[in-house]
Every structure is written in C-alpha cells, then in structure tokens.
C-alpha cells in the first residue's frame, strides 16, 4: 500500500509546477471533483451545491489571477480552505457570487460532447416519433427554434406545433421509461 504522505508530496509538487507554469486551468481541473463533491455533500446536492462550487472555482481563479501565492501552504489545503469559507458564507446568508475576472476566457465548448448529444437525440427522435412530430422536435431541440418559428417553417399553426410537442414528449417519456 503506497504511503499517503509520499502521494501527497508528489501531488503538491505537481501543483507547484502547474502554478509556476501558469497553467491555472489544469490546476483547477485537478480539484474540480473535490470542490463539487464537498459542496454536494454539504448541501445535499441540488442547484445550490453547483452554484457554491462554481463560486469556489471563481474565487480560486480570482486569487490566482491576482498573483496570490500561498507561501508554502500546499494548494490542496488552500482549496479546502476556500471551499470551507465559501460554504460558511452561504450558510451565513452572505453573498457568495464572485464576478468573473475581466480577462477570463472560458474554455471552448466540448465539440465531441455536443456532437454525441445531437446524434443521440436524432436517433431517439427517429426511433420514437412519427415523421411530423420528429420534424417539429428536430427544429425545436436540435436547431433551437421557438414554437412560433417552427410553425412558420412548417406552415403549421402555433397550436399544431404545441400539440405535436405535447404528444411527442409523451411518446418520448413512454419510450424512455417503458410505459
């Protein structure tokens, strides 16, 4: 069984190297599961847990981008401290929202995930919906059109589009849950 102090030391060394290289994205990604996991455990899941976890990430990013270094304190300890402080603020009713730094550029979309989601939805629509409803669902969920736009595109009434969506949702629910 590996010695946990050796593993912690190796992890701390990796964190220091990432900090020195300015690779903040990799450093934060390394602790993402820890941040989210603690917030979910403390808040028993839900959107609040995700919001607080996001605020922890933003707080860490803001500190790192301001050049904050922690004088020998392992970064993993800093992460747990910031999680604790942000959760304490949440439970005390203090705002935990942190504005994004002006220079913040979020990572690009995960194209693979988007393509796979699109593919699976197409297959689901094809296997579960009749032609007319399938076309309405493709326009709504794959192309992002609003019901009024779908009605114009397909030369239908808005009511017909709403009915197709309602019936289609029921068919998809039956197909996914089995009844």
Phi-psi region of 152 (alpha: psi -120 to 50; beta: other; left: phi over 0): alpha
Q: At what angle do helices 111-128 and 158-177 cross, to 10 degrees?
A: 90
Q: CATH fold of 4-91, please?
A: Rna Polymerase Sigma Factor; Chain: A (1.10.1740)
Residue of 75, 91, 79 whose CA lies nearest to 37: 79
- Sign, Cα dihedral of 123, 126, 127, 129: positive
Position 109 scores a pLDDT of 52
Euclidean distance between CA atoms 163 and 172, whole angstroms:
14
User: What is residue 161's predicted lDDT score, i.e. its pLDDT?
Assistant: 94
Query: Which sequence spans correspond to the domains of the chain?
Result: 4-91, 111-177
Could you tell me which CATH number the domain at 111-177 has?
A: 1.10.10.10
Distance of CA 7 to the CA centre of its chain: 29
Burial of 65 (0-12, 13-18, 19+ CB in 10 A): middle
Give pLDDT, residue 112.
Answer: 65
Q: What residues of the chain score a pLDDT lower than 50?
A: 1-4, 6
pLDDT, position 7: 52
| pTM given for the model | 0.51
Q: Which two tokens stand for residue 43?
A: 């808040």
Alpha carbons 73 and 8: distance in angstroms, whole number: 12
* pLDDT value for 148: 94
Extract the tokens encoding 98: 């942190």
């Amino acid at each position: 069984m590996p010695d946990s102090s050796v593993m912690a030391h190796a992890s701390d060394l990796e964190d220091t190297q990432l900090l020195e290289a300015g690779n903040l994205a990799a450093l934060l990604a390394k602790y993402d599961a820890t941040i989210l996991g603690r917030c979910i455990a403390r808040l028993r899941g839900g959107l609040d847990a995700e919001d607080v976890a996001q605020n922890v990430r933003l707080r860490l990013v803001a500190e790192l981008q301001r050049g904050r270094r922690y004088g020998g304190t392992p970064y993993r300890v800093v992460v747990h401290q910031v999680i604790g402080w942000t959760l304490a603020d949440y439970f005390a009713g203090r705002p935990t929202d942190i504005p994004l730094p002006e220079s913040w550029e979020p990572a690009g979309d995960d194209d693979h995930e988007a393509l796979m989601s699109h593919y699976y939805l197409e297959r689901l629509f094809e296997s579960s919906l009749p032609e007319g409803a399938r076309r309405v669902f493709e326009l709504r969920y794959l192309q992002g059109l609003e019901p009024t736009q779908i009605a114009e595109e397909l030369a239908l009434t808005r009511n017909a589009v709403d009915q197709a969506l309602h019936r289609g949702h029921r068919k998809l629910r039956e197909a996914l849950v089995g009844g």
